[in-house]
Structure 1
Amino acid sequence: MGAIYLIRHGQASFGEADYDRLSGLGVEQGAVVGAELLRRGVRFTEARSGSLARQRKTAETVLDWLGTETPAKEDPRWNEYDHVDVVGHHGGGVPQSAMDSRSYQTVLDKALTDWVGAGEDSPCAETWPAFLGRVRGALDELVSVLRKGENAVVFTSGGVIGTLAGVLLGTPEAGLLKLNRVTVNAGITKLVTGRGGVTLLSFNEHPHFEGGAARLLTYR
């Protein structure tokens, strides 16, 4: 039986002109999750990352801790949904800079609900069914290249992780709208693969942000 570790990227730069850049705290979070994976002694035969800067920088930081010289293979199917486009069409186009993160999250939650409800009729460049199809495709491809007992690590985002967890539990919509809300930056979700298919073994692990590292725990 093999395993796939889904790592949410470190904290991005909310409210700044370049949201996609990791914050200083986000870089620290990447180092902590790297140290956690090193402590576990997990060996990875495959590494993937979305093409977003915050995902790639997290991958670089973690793999450096693990002593892995080969970079993660970029695959844009692991990218997050475009929150700006979703809010633009389903949330009144409110910019992040206009409010604090909690208020913006309220707007985003409603916009995501409307985006999912609109289905193929959404005016967004990527509809919910298209997003769901691409992230499922990314997971299926990765599973297909893993041999018995091999492990993979993926650096992606909360919406992708929540959706895939929902898929494995039979409710992808709830995964996006509910599980996505509680994913922590640099949290770990573990899937196992075997003859019976793919199973969600753990979701959103973050004990590496307890105790002395509690100051690093963030959701946005």
Structure 2
Amino acid sequence: MGAVYLVRHGQASFGADDYDRLSEVGAEQSAAVGKELRRRGLEFTGVYCGTMTRQRDTALAAGFEPVQDARWNEYDFLDVLRGHGSGNPDRGDPRRFQAALDEALLAWVAAAEGSDCGESWPAFAGRIGTALEDTVTALGRGENALVFTSGGVIGAIAALLIGDQAGRFTPLHRVTCNAGITKLVAGRSGLTLVAFNEHGHFEGEGRHLLTYR
């Protein structure tokens, strides 16, 4: 039985001109999740990330040298907002921005292949599905893989394994915290979600590091 650990990147630079870089808090979160993974005594035969800066830098700050694979990249949230949003949401207000993004995501998913976005929901779900399948296939008995990716990717995978991927994607995506850990186990019956969005490393003394955007 093998396992795949999915880690969401640390906090990016929300509201800045270049979102795709870690904030100071994000760098701290990344180091903390690396410490947590080592505390568990885990060994990984494969470590991967997307090609986004925030994903790669989270892996490096956590103490890992990842192999980059663009299939683990996040969807283009600006493209989704342009294609399915009702306006230009204020990035200075995280709650209002999240509400606008949720609305756009629901419309994006519902549009399916009919979306005008550069990448449709089925295309997004399909590419991360093949990335996951290839990662699991490469695992030997008792081996672990580690993937540094994004909240939308993790939410889509969790929704797929629970059932009703399209329906559950947005609410699961919404609650993924920065540098949270999701665990999937591969066995004879297939792939099973056994832990979603673990963030005990951000409780107690580390509670100031818990963020969702």
Residue ranges of structure 1 left out of the alignment (5+ in a row): none
Equivalent of 1:129, from 122, 126, 135? Answer: 122
Residue type of the alignment partner of 1:32:
A
Residue ranges of structure 2 left out of the alignment (5+ in a row): none
Structure-1 separation of matches of 2:174 and 2:165: 14
Residue 86 of structure 1 pairs with residue 80 of structure 2: yes
Cα RMSD, aligned residues only: 1.1
1:86: Cα distance to partner?
0.1
1:196: Cα distance to partner?
1.4
Q: Give the TM-score of the pair, scaled to structure 1.
A: 0.94
What residue is the counterpart of 1:200 in the other structure?
193
What residue is the counterpart of 1:218 in the other structure?
211
Q: How does 1:8-87 map to 2 (within 5 A)?
A: 8-62=8-62, 64=63, 68=64, 71-87=65-81
Structure-2 separation of matches of 1:157 and 1:175: 16
Structure-1 separation of matches of 2:104 and 2:211: 22
Structure-1 separation of matches of 2:19 and 2:12: 6
Rate the CA distance shift 1:207–1:112 in 2: closer, same or farther, 3 A: same
Structure-2 separation of matches of 1:151 and 1:140: 14
Residue type of the alignment partner of 2:169:
L
Structure-1 separation of matches of 2:191 and 2:90: 36
Q: Give the TM-score of the pair, scaled to structure 2.
A: 0.97
C-alpha offsets along residues 172-200 of structure 1, whole Å, 9 cap, x if unaligned?
11332110111000000000011211100
Number of residue equivalences:
213
Residue type of the alignment partner of 1:194:
G
Structure-2 separation of matches of 1:134 and 1:96: 30
Q: 8 Å contact 1:209–1:216 — kept in the other structure? A: yes
C-alpha offsets along residues 1-20 of structure 1, whole Å, 9 cap, x if unaligned?
11100000000000100001
C-alpha offsets along residues 114-165 of structure 1, whole Å, 9 cap, x if unaligned?
0001010000000000001001010001011111110000000011001001
Structure-1 separation of matches of 2:126 and 2:182: 20
Runs of 4+ in 1 over 2 A off after TM superposition: none
| Identity, % of aligned positions | 57
